[in-house]
């Protein structure tokens, strides 16, 4: 291993060592604060490291790359993890989730995301994906004191394991068809060599099925509402923001390399349409905020697939932009939900009545997130939707664009329901305590990012289109 | 000439003020005074723009615009921060600043809960509306177009009465569906223009003159027309309006009727017709037909209303039908009439909604059948009421008459049958207005309501509005002079 290799692998090592250190710390002290602080320091350190320009962009022996796109997403994952850790401390204390395994698992999942982002061959990619998924299997069920926790964990683990099997099999088939594990060579050869190679095509089918599960695209979305409902709120923020951005990044790495994606158009088209329909229509009838957010996320991922379909005409940038924007919005929304729930508010919309008065800060952030998800300017959600629809129209996906925009108009209804409940109905609860300082910071930064990327998206769009040429 | 950031200042002063109010949520009287100060400053600023006319045209400004500001914004997408003010924008911006001030004064005492938030939303909305009237970039326009909805949604949802949440959501959904389709159409123009010229831009002056195939033009214009028709509102897309008006707090009704309805007409004049001249001409019979249908239908329905706010709301639909008729005719006279009528309707309806609000504040009912005999009990109020009701009904010498007269004169050559039918629409408002005056002011007292006459604040509000009504009614020439150049440019004649 050369120093250049070490440079590329350093953030991964940092995260893994950080995770182990936090675990060891548990033997010395029972104070969770120390573990959380170490976790935040490690993620921020990894983010800072990734911001530098590497001496060499590739570490071929390790199957890792330090190109700009993986580093951009790496920074995003690390910051998201730091935000999640910041949110968790208060929430976990209230819920009685204690122990150093929580921050350690968050770090380990971040390690997985980063490995996934920087993979250059299918094996590293799979390892990263697995590391991330394992982290989430644990995190989703980490609230041991709640009766539903085990159920939630199982509902995520079983379909998750199935989807992993699909992914592994897909990778094996691609390897079988192309004889190489390199991401650049295994993927394009298969679909574009004259008439479609059936083995490669089957491999792609398995890959898509596995990724669709991670993105919770209809019809593989059934786990989403239950997991969103049962997992701790900061974990849902991480899952919704991080794991989905990871899956989108995966598609962004694979799809442009296929060179000719016409064969994949039909399944992607169907996934996009079905997800937008199922997500938006089902969300209309939800009475629990978290389930509503789950269906909303299904719909939002449908929009991302619309962008991926129109990749060559700016869709890849749009998808990447939306992945990042959605991550930040998720962090804000579930951060606000975590602050609200921490203070003993229930899960149904009825419990959220009049919170705009008693919890002005958290409600304000939640309302902003709702407006962003509904695609109302000047938020990052609007800019993202705008880019998506512009790319869809440009590439001639008019049907998807029109259906998507009509469903987006419909979606305004259920997002507004949340805002209405927060502000326009009266509650009988008394004034309650303020959010803690880390919660304040995380939510404030996330909200600022939502507005800033809505008003001045120029540099990010420019960067993304530069990276995804 | 005033230095360039004038338009930016004009646009963002209310928004900055509303951010300032965020810090005053616990100090109600301070919040009131700050909000009023900001609104008055904005009014002064808007009026000072009047004196910029006739000075040298700024560089790169499209013809007719005497104030212009063009800065890069999101360059990768060809989105620019382009603001411009011509005669049309000038009058509408002054109207916006004026009506917003009135709206603040009207809710001075009647709002008792979350005062700072209420005033903050009104100011934020002012920025949104002014943004709509100043933007010359389609993306920027769309941004403000959406932005002005959010404060109104909260105004109705938080401070409204009866079925306020239903009405707020209905209002929001109606407008959102229209405007999202318009967004798709905006993207469509942007791409078609980009493919034709190689320059991707959202600037209005670049996009004017883009060639569309007939079908594409019709689809794109149709999406624009839908968005604007909802705002207008044209029959049959008007059903959100009576609900929103009835359930909104007084300030909400005032801004909704006085300002928000004008944005639809403005959008059609500034963007719809210039961008798609051919498609607009093809669909003119539809626009005129809906306009006339609106005039007759709304007047008919207004006659049957028992709630005063609903009655005024339906009269708004009727009056905006006249505006639509004038736009459909697209002759210089009719178009000036439409623009003047937008101002007139803004002033008169603002006054009527404010007055109904004043009654409601005291007696807590808006049902016509609960009142009667007010003339002897509160004479000052009654006198103002008669004045504004008559102005609304189009009494010669008052402002609405001038606008309606110009619209009808200008439209007759183009659409004779429609104009003749619209003439009937001039008479109908008289019928329901006289009925309203008779029942509320002159009939026997039906319920023993203890009423006190207007306070000094209320007299002040109404005096300003009455003066504006009378002055425009007697001497509309200065306003028409301001409109002359932009109208001539729009209708294709030499200025």
Quote the domain boundaries for residue A89: 1-140
Query: Where are the alpha helices (H) located in A374-457, listed in sequence order?
Result: 380-394, 398-423, 437-455
What per-residue confidence (pLDDT) applies to B342?
93
Query: Interface of chain A against chain B, CB under 8 Å?
Result: 357, 371, 376-378, 382, 386, 389-390, 393-394, 401-402, 405-406, 408-409, 412-413, 416-417, 420, 423-425, 456-458, 461-462, 465
What Cα–Cα distance (Å) separates residue B45 from each residue in A312, B49, B70?
48, 7, 20
| Backbone angles phi and psi of A457, in degrees to 5 | -80, 0
Q: Does B113 touch chain A (CB under 8 A)?
A: no
Mutation site for A-interface testing, chosen from B15, B25, B72, B76 by largest number of A Cβ within 10 Å: B76
With beta carbons less than 8 A apart as the criterion, state whether B270 and B88 touch.
yes
Token pair of B353 as six digits: 């909604």
Last residue of a domain, one of A140, A171, A203: A140
Q: Please report, to the nearest 10 degrees, the dihedral formed by the alpha carbons of residues A243, A248, A254, A259 taken in order.
A: 180
Which pairing describes strands B79-85 and A58-59: parallel, antiparallel, or unpaired? unpaired
- Cα–Cα distance between B386 and B396 in angstroms, integer? 14
**Sign of the alpha-carbon torsion through A24, A25, A27, A31:** negative
Q: Does B30 touch chain A (CB under 8 A)?
A: no
| Backbone angles phi and psi of A64, in degrees to 5 | -125, 155
Residue of A nearest to B72 (CA): A458
Minimal Cα–Cα distance from B396 to chain A, Å? Answer: 44
Q: Strand pairing partners for B68?
A: B84
Is residue A468 assigned to a domain? yes
Write out chain B residues lying below 8 Å of A412, CB-based: 172-173, 176
Last residue of a domain, one of A97, A119, A140: A140
3-state secondary structure of A182: strand
Residue A127 exposure: Cα atoms within 13 Å on the Cβ side: 15
3-state secondary structure of A59: strand
8 Å CB contact of B77 and A461: yes
Give the closest residue to A375 by CA, choosing from A424, A336, A413.
A413
What per-residue confidence (pLDDT) applies to B425?
83
Q: State the DSSP H helix or E strand holding residue B74, giving kind and residue range, or none if neither.
A: strand B67-74
With beta carbons less than 8 A apart as the criterion, state whether B436 and B311 touch.
yes
Is residue A191 assigned to a domain? no
Give the closest residue to B225 by CA, choosing from B299, B127, B291, B144.
B291
Give rounded-to-5 percent helix, strand, coil for chain B: 75, 5, 20
Q: Mind listing the pLDDT tens digit of every residue in chain A (469 residues)?
A: 688 888 888 999 999 999 999 988 888 877 788 888 999 999 999 999 999 888 888 877 888 888 888 999 999 999 999 999 999 988 888 888 887 889 999 999 999 999 999 998 889 999 999 999 999 999 999 988 888 888 999 999 999 999 999 999 999 998 888 888 888 777 765 445 566 678 888 888 899 999 999 999 988 889 999 999 989 999 999 999 999 999 999 999 888 877 566 778 888 999 999 999 999 999 988 999 999 999 999 999 999 999 998 888 888 999 999 999 999 999 999 999 999 888 878 888 888 888 888 888 999 999 999 999 999 888 999 999 999 999 999 888 889 999 999 999 889 889 988 988 888 777 666 666 678 888 999 999 999 999 999 999 988 888 888 888 7
Condensed to tens digits (0 to 9), the pLDDT of residues B297-341 reads 998 998 888 899 999 999 999 899 999 999 999 999 999 999 999
What Cα–Cα distance (Å) separates residue A117 from each residue in A16, A124, B349?
16, 10, 60
What are the residues whose beta carbons fall under 8 Å from the beta carbon of B412, sequence distance 6 or more?
B419
Give the closest residue to A358 by CA, choosing from A419, A420, A302, A423.
A423
Token pair of B190 as six digits: 């942007």
Is residue A124 assigned to a domain? yes
- Cα–Cα distance between B148 and B150 in angstroms, integer? 6
What per-residue confidence (pLDDT) applies to A462?
87
The pLDDT of residue B439 is above 50: yes
Identify the burial level of A433 via C-beta atoms within 10 angstroms of its C-beta, where 0-12 means exposed, 13-18 middle and 19 or more buried. Answer: exposed
8 Å CB contact of A458 and B74: yes
With beta carbons less than 8 A apart as the criterion, state whether B318 and B299 touch.
yes
Rounded to 5°, the CA angle A115-A116-A121 comes to 95
3-state secondary structure of B203: strand
Last residue of a domain, one of A83, A110, A140: A140
Is residue A161 assigned to a domain? no
Q: State the DSSP H helix or E strand holding residue B67, giving kind and residue range, or none if neither.
A: strand B67-74
With beta carbons less than 8 A apart as the criterion, state whether A72 and A51 touch.
no
Which residue in this structure is represented by tokens 């831009």?
B201
Which residue in this structure is represented by tokens 């419990």?
A351
Write out chain B residues lying below 8 Å of A382, CB-based: 146
- Cα–Cα distance between A439 and A233 in angstroms, integer? 13
The closest CB to that of B164, out of A371, A382, A424, belongs to A424
- Cα–Cα distance between B365 and A2 in angstroms, integer? 83
- What global pTM score does this model have? 0.90
Minimal Cα–Cα distance from B75 to chain A, Å? Answer: 7
Bond prior to B236 in cis (omega within 30° of 0): yes
- Cα–Cα distance between A192 and B116 in angstroms, integer? 63
With beta carbons less than 8 A apart as the criterion, state whether B251 and B122 touch.
yes
Residues 74-93 of B with CB under 8 A from A: 74-77
Give the closest residue to A232 by CA, choosing from A133, A295, A131, A153.
A153
**Sign of the alpha-carbon torsion through B455, B457, B458, B463:** positive
Confidence of residue B361 (pLDDT cuts 50, 70, 90): confident
* Helical axes A458-467 vs A315-342, angle rounded to 10°: 130
Condensed to tens digits (0 to 9), the pLDDT of residues B66-87 reads 888 888 888 888 899 999 999 9
With beta carbons less than 8 A apart as the criterion, state whether B454 and B386 touch.
no
DSSP state of B235: T
8 Å CB contact of B153 and A416: yes
Residue count of chain A = 469
Mutation site for B-interface testing, chosen from A386, A406, A418 by largest number of B Cβ within 10 Å: A386
With beta carbons less than 8 A apart as the criterion, state whether A197 and A260 touch.
no
């Amino acid at each position: 291993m050369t120093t250049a290799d070490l440079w590329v692998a350093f953030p991964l090592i940092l995260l893994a060592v950080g995770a182990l250190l936090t675990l060891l710390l548990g033997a010395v002290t029972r104070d969770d604060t120390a573990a959380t602080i170490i976790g935040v320091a490690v993620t921020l350190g990894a983010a800072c490291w990734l911001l530098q320009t590497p001496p060499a962009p590739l570490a071929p022996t390790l199957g890792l790359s330090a190109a700009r796109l993986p580093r951009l997403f790496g920074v995003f994952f690390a910051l998201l993890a730091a935000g999640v850790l910041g949110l968790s401390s208060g929430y976990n204390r209230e819920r009685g989730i204690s122990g150093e395994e929580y921050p350690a698992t968050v770090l380990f999942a971040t390690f997985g995301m980063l490995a996934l982002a920087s993979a250059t061959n299918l094996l590293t990619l799979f390892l990263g994906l697995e590391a991330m998924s394992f982290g989430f299997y644990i995190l989703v069920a980490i609230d041991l004191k709640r009766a539903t926790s085990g159920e939630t964990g199982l509902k995520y683990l079983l379909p998750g394991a199935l989807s992993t099997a699909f992914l592994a099999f897909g990778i094996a088939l691609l390897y079988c068809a192309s004889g190489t594990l390199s991401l650049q060579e295994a993927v394009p050869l298969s679909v574009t060599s004259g008439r479609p190679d059936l083995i490669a095509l089957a491999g792609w089918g398995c890959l898509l099925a596995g990724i669709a599960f991670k993105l919770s695209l209809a019809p593989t979305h059934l786990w989403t509402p239950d997991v969103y409902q049962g997992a701790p709120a900061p974990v849902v923020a991480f899952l919704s923001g991080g794991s989905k951005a990871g899956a989108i990044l995966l598609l962004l790495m694979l799809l442009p390399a296929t060179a000719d994606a016409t064969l994949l158009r039909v399944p992607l088209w169907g996934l996009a349409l079905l997800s937008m329909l199922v997500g938006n229509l089902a969300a209309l009838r939800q009475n629990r905020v978290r389930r509503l957010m789950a269906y909303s996320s299904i719909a939002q991922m449908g929009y991302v697939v619309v962008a991926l379909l129109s990749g060559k005409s700016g869709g890849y940038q749009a998808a990447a932009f939306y992945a990042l924007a959605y991550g930040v919005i998720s962090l804000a929304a579930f951060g606000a939900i975590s602050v609200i729930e921490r203070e003993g508010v229930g899960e149904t919309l009825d419990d959220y009545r009049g919170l705009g008065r008693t919890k002005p800060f958290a409600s304000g952030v939640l309302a902003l997130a709702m407006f962003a998800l509904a695609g109302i300017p000047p938020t990052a959600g609007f800019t993202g939707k705008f880019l998506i629809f512009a790319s869809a129209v440009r590439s001639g996906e008019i049907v998807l664009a029109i259906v998507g925009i009509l469903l987006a108009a419909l979606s305004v209804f259920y997002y507004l329901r949340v805002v209405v409940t927060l502000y326009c109905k009266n509650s009988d609860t008394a004034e309650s305590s303020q959010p803690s300082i880390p919660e304040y910071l995380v939510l404030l930064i996330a909200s600022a990012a939502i507005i800033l990327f809505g008003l001045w998206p120029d540099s990010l769009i420019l960067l993304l289109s530069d990276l995804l040429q | 000439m005033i230095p360039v950031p004038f338009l930016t200042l004009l646009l963002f002063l209310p928004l900055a003020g509303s951010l300032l109010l965020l810090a005053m949520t616990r100090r109600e009287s301070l919040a009131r005074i700050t909000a009023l100060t900001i609104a008055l400053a904005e009014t002064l600023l808007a009026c000072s723009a009047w004196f910029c006319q006739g000075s040298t045209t700024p560089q790169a400004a499209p013809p007719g615009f005497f104030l212009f500001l063009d800065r890069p914004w999101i360059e990768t997408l060809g989105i620019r921060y382009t603001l411009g003010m011509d005669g049309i924008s000038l009058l509408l911006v002054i109207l916006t600043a004026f009506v917003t001030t009135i709206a603040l004064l009207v809710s001075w005492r009647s709002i008792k809960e979350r005062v700072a938030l209420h005033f903050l939303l009104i100011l934020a909305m002012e920025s949104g509306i002014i943004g709509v009237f100043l933007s010359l970039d389609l993306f920027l326009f769309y941004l403000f177009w959406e932005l002005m909805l959010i404060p109104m949604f909260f105004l109705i949802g938080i401070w409204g009465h009866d079925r306020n949440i239903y009405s707020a959501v209905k209002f929001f959904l109606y407008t959102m569906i229209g405007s999202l389709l318009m967004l798709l159409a905006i993207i469509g123009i942007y791409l078609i223009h980009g493919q034709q010229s190689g320059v991707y831009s959202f600037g209005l002056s670049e996009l004017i003159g883009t060639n569309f195939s007939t079908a594409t033009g019709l689809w794109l214009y149709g999406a624009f027309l839908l968005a604007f028709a909802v705002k207008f509102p044209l029959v049959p897309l008007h059903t959100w309006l009576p609900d929103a008006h009835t359930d909104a707090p007084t300030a909400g009704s005032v801004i909704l009727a006085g300002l928000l309805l004008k944005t639809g007409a403005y959008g059609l004049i500034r963007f719809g017709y210039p961008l798609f001249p051919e498609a607009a001409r093809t669909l003119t019979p539809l626009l005129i037909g809906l306009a006339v249908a609106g005039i007759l239908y709304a007047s008919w329905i207004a006659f049957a209303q028992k709630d005063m706010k609903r009655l005024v709301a339906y009269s708004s639909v009727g009056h905006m039908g006249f505006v639509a008729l004038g736009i459909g005719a697209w002759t210089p006279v009719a178009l000036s009439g439409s623009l003047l009528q937008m101002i007139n309707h803004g002033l008169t309806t603002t006054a009527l909604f404010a007055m109904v609000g004043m009654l409601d504040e005291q007696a807590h009912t808006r049902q016509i059948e609960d009142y009667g005999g007010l003339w002897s009990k509160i004479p000052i109020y009654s006198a103002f009421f008669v004045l504004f009701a008559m102005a609304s009904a189009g009494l010669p010498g008052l402002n609405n008459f001038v606008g309606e007269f110009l619209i009808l004169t200008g439209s007759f050559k183009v659409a004779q049958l429609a104009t003749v039918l619209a003439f009937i629409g001039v008479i109908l408002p008289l019928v329901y207005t006289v009925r309203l005056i008779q029942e509320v002011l002159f009939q026997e007292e039906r319920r023993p309501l203890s009423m006190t006459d207007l306070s000094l604040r209320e007299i002040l509000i109404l005096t300003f509005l009455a003066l504006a009504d009378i002055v425009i009614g007697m001497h509309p020439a200065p306003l028409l002079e301001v409109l002359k150049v932009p109208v001539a440019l729009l209708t294709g004649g030499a200025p």
